[in-house]
Amino acid sequence: MKSRREFLQKLTIGAGVIPFALQYQPAFGREKEHTVPDGPVLRVALMGLGSYANRVAEAMQSCKRAKITGVISGTPSKITDWQKKYNIPAKNCYNYENFDAIKDNPDIDAVYIITPNSLHHPQCLRVAAAGKHVICEKPMAINAKQGKEMVEACEKAGVKLLIGYRMHFEANTLEVVRLRKAGEFGKIKFFQGLSGFKIGDPTQWRLNRELAGGGAMMDIGIYAINGSRYMIGEEPIWVTAQETKTDPVKFKVGVDETITFQLGFPSGATASCLSTYAVSYLDKFFLVGEGGFAEMQPSTGYGPIKSWTHKGRLDLPHVTHQTTQMEEMAAIILDGKQPIIPVDGKEGWKDMVIIDAIFAAVKSGKKVEIKY
């Protein structure tokens, strides 16, 4: 099976060096902005012990402020393996039927939900009801209604809801956002986001509408949606979209293979994006304004991210994304730190509103207003 995550890893490892004469030098001392201060440790239980959970767990071994203290899985053998590998006591291990008991476990502060998309909503509600903070993989749900209910449930319970937007803490991404805010590109006019790969095993959950809530758009198109928002620095107000399906057997009704979509923003800027399960090597962001541009390719893979502007190369030092993400999320939950690019539940909900509008535009063939 060739998953999105395997694709992202291979793409970034195999990315060639793009010739560029100049080497950009970031402003002195700016790296201090993202330093996580010493302090208490966030004790995390991982829910869903698949391939990405393994990646997160490995990355967390380098964290100073986030530690794996529990696991939740429907597969007993996985729990046993994780207990041995990460020295997790039996009292901190749960299955999907009994994990509500984390309410009485002081060893767990937060639960990181890394399960199929359609399970995020009910699992988030249960974790919130147990009084634990929620970290949820993207997409946060399968539609905006569910996303809103997740936000409200966590607010009612007095716990944080954070979404696994690892790119919001990545150095090159943050530098491009900083340059845009500083006016280095002038008035922003256009963004392009390309996200895609050829998906493998036709029986996997990502091609099951009931579990995934869709196809490529939910899985990888969300990178271009979210990227358009933080790169342009505005929320889109309308969308048009077109779907192409070449294999209706593999991509059944409700499971999109390829969708191209266009977004309009209040300033007049526009975005043109592609989400596909049919073409590999698509991982590119391009932002251009009246005074310059920024390009990233790979733009959302596991790294290193390759980036440059009209002034030269960026290519800031690579740190494992999941390590940085969990360190920063610990600071958000424990210290009240405010990230430069939000990762809260409302941020995730906005992406779901846009995805709902994209699907509506595909169905109607018309421009759809995006209503938050």
Q: Are residues 53 and 187 in the same domain?
A: no
- What DSSP string runs through 257-315? SEEEEEEE-TTS-EEEEEEESS-SSEEEEEEEESS-EEEESSSSSSS---EEETTEE--
Q: Are residues 215 and 138 in the same domain?
A: no
* Nearest-angstrom CA–CA distance, 248 and 257: 9
Q: Are residues 149 and 179 in the same domain?
A: no
Please give the pLDDT value at position 38: 79
Contact between 206 and 4 (Cβ < 8 Å): yes
Q: How many CB atoms lie within 10 A of CB 304?
A: 18
Q: Are residues 12 and 120 in the same domain?
A: no
Alpha-carbon distances, residue 210 vs 137, 182, 255 (angstroms)? 17, 44, 10
* Residue 138 appears among annotated catalytic residues: yes
Q: How many domains does the chain have?
A: 2
* Nearest-angstrom CA–CA distance, 239 and 17: 34
Output the tens digit of pLDDT for each of the chain's 372 residues.
445 555 455 454 444 444 444 445 554 334 444 566 678 999 999 999 999 999 999 999 999 999 999 999 999 999 999 999 999 999 999 999 999 999 999 999 999 999 999 999 999 999 999 999 999 999 999 999 999 999 999 999 999 999 999 999 999 999 999 999 999 999 999 999 999 999 999 999 999 999 999 999 999 999 999 999 999 999 999 999 999 999 999 999 999 999 999 999 999 999 999 999 999 999 999 999 999 999 999 999 999 999 999 999 999 999 999 999 999 999 999 999 999 999 999 999 999 999 999 999 999 999 999 999
Q: Are residues 93 and 135 in the same domain?
A: yes
Domain that holds residue 84: 36-164
Of 94, 112, 165, 223, which one is the catalytic site residue? Answer: 223
**pTM for the whole structure:** 0.92
Q: Are residues 15 and 86 in the same domain?
A: no
* Nearest-angstrom CA–CA distance, 354 and 234: 13
List the beta strands (DSSP E) in 98-186: 110-113, 133-136, 161-163
Please give the pLDDT value at position 16: 43
- 248 within domain boundaries: yes
The sign of the dihedral angle between the CA atoms of 94, 100, 102, 108 is positive
Q: Are residues 215 and 360 in the same domain?
A: yes
Please give the pLDDT value at position 39: 83
H and E: helices and strands count for the chain: 11, 15
Of 138, 160, 306, 350, which one is the catalytic site residue? Answer: 138
CATH number at residue 42: 3.40.50.720
- 331 within domain boundaries: no
* Residue 337 appears among annotated catalytic residues: no
Task: Decide which of 164, 180, 201 is a domain's last residue.
Answer: 164
Q: Are residues 53 and 135 in the same domain?
A: yes
CATH number at residue 311: 3.30.360.10
- 324 within domain boundaries: no
